Amino acid sequence: MKIVLCGDGGVGKTVLRDRYLGRGFQTKYMMTIGADFALKEATVDNNKIRFQIWDLAGQQRFANVRAVYYTGCLGGLLLFDVTRRDSFENCTNWIKEIWKHNGRGVIPIVLLGNKADLRDSHPDAITSDVAKKFAMELSDQTRPHGFDIHYLDTSAKTGQNVVEAFDELGRVYFSFIEKLKK
């Protein structure tokens, strides 16, 4: 299953992926140039899946390059930094970009509020309730396509919901495929 990790630069896509791959947490920030790629096999609800994870650069200057990497993807994890309102507000643009360039149209996405471990130290942080409401609004658009947008708080630093994020995307994808078969 080809999936993309996307969201603004610095929201934690690479560290989340590395945590999922068992590499631990790195505090230094290194910008992804274009895209990075990894594979991981998993079992989600007794279904074997091989995630082909494409970690896409979040900076605007890489938008043209990113378009190529979306082609053929079957789902995405869309991350925002709960301490950066702008990264949350840009999620709508990211969804449009994913759906425009993947070659399949509307595909499953799981919305992730990353850096949840920092929420309490930022009084203007995006709350889980605000993010869940946004996910429900997005689900109004995706329900006719056979799936809802799910939301999870994540922390690449603590490991909170990192595995669950990938598992949830796998579950939504398998459910989506079953509905397409009917």
CA distance 21 to 142: 29
| C-alpha atoms less than 13 angstroms from C-alpha of 166 in its C-beta half-sphere | 30
Query: Tell me: the pLDDT tens digits for 88-137?
Result: 999 999 999 999 999 999 999 999 999 999 999 999 999 999 999 999 99
CA distance 66 to 61: 10
The answer to whether 118 and 49 are in contact (CB under 8 A) is no
Query: Tell me: the pLDDT tens digits for 152-175?
Result: 999 999 999 999 999 999 999 998
pLDDT surpassing 70 at residue 38? yes
Q: Which of 16-30, 38-52, 105-119 is predicted with the least confidence, judged by mean pLDDT?
A: 16-30
What pLDDT, on the 0 to 100 scale, is given for residue 27? 54
Q: Is 36 helix (H, G, I), strand (E, B) or coil?
A: strand
What pLDDT, on the 0 to 100 scale, is given for residue 33? 44
Q: Go through the chain and tell me how many residues it has.
A: 182
Query: Tell me: the pLDDT tens digits for 67-90?
Result: 788 899 999 999 999 999 999 999
Neighbour tally for 175: CB within 10 Å: 15
The answer to whether 117 and 155 are in contact (CB under 8 A) is yes
What pLDDT, on the 0 to 100 scale, is given for residue 4? 94
Report how far apart, in Å, the C-alpha atoms of 57 and of each of 32, 133, 160, 176 are. Answer: 5, 27, 23, 27
pLDDT surpassing 70 at residue 25? no
What pLDDT, on the 0 to 100 scale, is given for residue 68? 82
Query: Mean pLDDT over residues 133-154, rounded?
Result: 96
Q: Which of 19-28, 106-115, 133-142 is predicted with the least confidence, judged by mean pLDDT?
A: 19-28
What pLDDT, on the 0 to 100 scale, is given for residue 59? 58
Helices (H), 57-144: 63-70, 85-89, 91-101, 128-142
Q: Which of 29-33, 61-65, 118-122 is predicted with the least confidence, judged by mean pLDDT?
A: 29-33
Neighbour tally for 103: CB within 10 Å: 10
CA distance 130 to 116: 13
